Structure 1
Amino acid sequence: MGWFSKDPLQIIAFHSYGSNSHFFARGRALEDESIDLMRKNIFSMVINTYKTFETDEIKNTKLNLKLPNNKILKAVTDNNGYYKFDTSLEDLKSLTNEEGWLQFELSYDDVNINRTIQNQNRFPGEMLIPSKKAVFGVASDIDDTILHTGVVSTLKWRVIYNTVFKNVKRRLPLEGAAEFYHLLHQGITGDNANPIFYVSHSPWNLYRYLEFFLKQNNFPKGPILLRSFSDFLNRKRLKDKPQKQKEIVNLLKTYPDLPFILIGDSGEKDIDIYIEIAKAFPKRILAIYLRSVKHKKKMIRVKTLADSYNEVPILLVKDSNEAKAHAKKSGFIV
């Protein structure tokens, strides 16, 4: 566990999702590198980025998870410090708040650990179980859908520049996105608590960066679904489905009675992924909104695919107002 290091220990809980009978929580145990996302000078931001990707994992270590009813679950971190609690339990909805969030507490199993901050071996976490009032879910991409990243730029140089050299507080969301997502979350009654799931090809190392960005810019709270850094670096095998697609498919299987709205952009492969999902889950996709990007060839290709598939409304939108108008007309929002 790196006993000779001076950095305190921490347990990061990723916002996860489950059901009334399925508890699922994941995250990572790391040494606390004191990453300050508010730093503004370039040197500090470069150091932050280095710390984000050069992590000191707490490997093969026992963890405890305490539920509000005092039930204790146990797990062990893997060689990269990741942990997963995945088990069947009863009546989990009775432990949630009105929005569907179930709060729990994580700790290191070893009672002699004294390297946590202020020796408090307690770390909060949350899991979402969609409210009974929810009438649909939203699965949204992050990159160039709600956050300018430049995924269509040459050699992805703009993504690298924005991540390394831009303070997260200076990163601006696409105009009107937060308001639109709140309207979708509130639904037609104003208190539907429709769940919002944020899906990205980014690695889990950027979880805290993206979580801070969403909170800073007043987006509805929701699970953030990313992928491991090793998968991010390695080219996927030809027959493998993209991680984003796997996550959305799992959402549809986890909540079989909940239709979904899919939101992405026209710059990458969202159109291919979303149409394939819509074909695999007939009548489960209410609409697909794709933000237009400044790339002529990609836009022609996306428009051709959208025009050739008529089973689900597919809108190429320049801004949130266009998506909002369609959602209102369709009875998704007021």
Structure 2
Amino acid sequence: MTAPNEDRPQTRTVRRYQRVSAHVVRALSRLELLFDRVVWGLRRRFGSLGPLQVVPYRSFGTGTQALVRGRVLEASVLERSLPEDSTWRNFRRMLRRFSSNEVPDVSVRAELGMNSADGVTDDEGYFDVTLTSPELRGAGEWKTAEVQLMAAPVRGWKPARATAEILVPAEDAELGIISDIDDTVLQTHVAQTLKMIWVTLVGSPYTRMPFEGTSELYRALVAGASGHANNPVFYVSKSPWNLYDFLVDFMDHHELPRGPLLLRDIGLHEAPPLDHKSAAVESLLETYPQLPFILIGDSGERDPDIYLETARKHPRRVRAIYIRDLHGKRARHAPRDELCRRAAELGTEMLWVDHAELALQHARARGLAR
């Protein structure tokens, strides 16, 4: 019998590396926090802030609770991409996404029907509000919550509000889908470094391309074996929240199923979990204990190991693992045969694919899609 995933030498090495990295991040975070507080104090004192904007993120919930997540920023910073944008304008928009001016200590209120909940933005301007409402029960659809500013430590601030989208899976959903984004859905040209840098800086949601067949695969999985299941899909990525609008526009333009995005903060204020993706996947499986899942990723980094660990922690809940094969580029995992063997021992299947059609054929053969 093989050793548990966390006891393997490779896993122990990764854990040591993550612990050292976490110590470095905590040290840097103190410097960044000091710098941000000084800058924020000066801007607050001299009134150099523009109008405030609430930026809600697509999130998720259950029949009793929903997570309302977002950020408060200066409104003048954000500009959505347009199909007619030039290369130069795309470049400028990308730079502005990473030069956002977040606003801490802002009081926000989320409202759904007659119910509401309050929260406060952190040092990076983010807020997480847990909202309880009877209107969530048996939803099986997207619900909307209104988010508004209640108070802000800014002279002359004006009220602002926005609508947050919340996915509440139907009680009869057949399964859930958790997918990576970069190198899994979105082509990043990881094998060509210069091209990867170029398309990242000057590409737009309308010029960047998904892998061929990806939209068809995901729509089939959402429809499920019955053809009308409306299974929920969640996108988990190490991409920063700064790219949220870019990724939403990309998915909508290429007709990928709508789903909550679980991205990460690139700030250093909080000590991060040892692995953002592991923590996000674990949170989803705990939120929906009745759902089995299909996990989709790529071979570029640690997706195979993360998904196998998920299968170990949650027996019989991972129906299949689909890994897009990048043919050794940036690989940080055990050999493919060993990973597939470990998947079988855990009661699931790991399929390595060059094209989404192969995953779709497998899903149909296993009764996971029509």
What's the counterpart of residue 106 of structure 1? 147
Partner residue of 1:41 out of 86, 90, 94: 86
Further displaced range: 196-205 or 304-313 = 304-313
* Structure 1 residues 330 and 223, CA gap change in structure 2 (3 angstroms): same
Contact kept? 1:271, 1:302, Cα under 8 Å: no
SS at match of 1:197: strand
Q: CA deviation at 1:18?
A: 1.7
Q: CA deviation at 1:122?
A: 2.8
Q: Distance in 2 between matches of 1:133 and 1:20?
A: 12
Contact kept? 1:292, 1:299, Cα under 8 Å: no
Higher radius of gyration, 1 or 2:
2
Q: CA deviation at 1:9?
A: 2.2
What's the counterpart of residue 201 of structure 2? 164
Q: CA deviation at 1:297?
A: 8.5
Q: CA deviation at 1:298?
A: 3.9
- Structure 2, unaligned stretches of length 5 or more? 1-42
Paired residue type of 1:104: A
Contact kept? 2:54, 2:73, Cα under 8 Å: yes
Q: CA deviation at 1:215?
A: 0.7
Paired residue type of 1:280: K
SS at match of 1:47: helix
What's the counterpart of residue 127 of structure 1? 166
Q: Distance in 1 between matches of 2:277 and 2:61?
A: 18
Q: Distance in 2 between matches of 1:51 and 1:188?
A: 43
Partner residue of 1:260 out of 293, 302, 314: 293
State, as a whole percentage, how many aligned pairs show the same letter: 32
What's the counterpart of residue 176 of structure 2? 137
Q: Distance in 2 between matches of 1:172 and 1:263?
A: 18
Q: How does 1:69-88 map to 2 (within 5 A)?
A: 69-87=113-131
Q: CA deviation at 1:70?
A: 2.7
What's the counterpart of residue 15 of structure 1? 58
Contact kept? 2:351, 2:359, Cα under 8 Å: yes
Q: Distance in 2 between matches of 1:315 and 1:267?
A: 15
Deviation digits for residues 54-84 of structure 1 (CA, Å, limit 9, x no counterpart) = 11112211112121x2322211111211111
SS at match of 1:80: coil
* Structure 1 residues 296 and 128, CA gap change in structure 2 (3 angstroms): closer
* Structure 1 residues 202 and 158, CA gap change in structure 2 (3 angstroms): farther
Q: Distance in 2 between matches of 1:134 and 1:75?
A: 31
Partner residue of 2:357 out of 302, 321, 329: 321
RMSD: 2.8
Aligned length: 321
Which one has the bigger helix percentage? Answer: 2
Note if 1:50 corresponds to 2:95. yes
* Structure 1 residues 152 and 70, CA gap change in structure 2 (3 angstroms): farther
What's the counterpart of residue 230 of structure 1? 267
Q: Distance in 1 between matches of 2:150 and 2:53?
A: 13
Partner residue of 1:31 out of 61, 64, 74: 74
Q: Distance in 1 between matches of 2:350 and 2:247?
A: 27
Q: Distance in 2 between matches of 1:92 and 1:209?
A: 31
Partner residue of 1:307 out of 333, 336, 340: 340
- Structure 1, unaligned stretches of length 5 or more? none
* Structure 1 residues 299 and 11, CA gap change in structure 2 (3 angstroms): closer
Contact kept? 2:138, 2:171, Cα under 8 Å: no
Paired residue type of 2:354: K
Paired residue type of 1:66: E
What's the counterpart of residue 237 of structure 2? 200
Contact kept? 1:138, 1:196, Cα under 8 Å: yes
SS at match of 1:126: strand
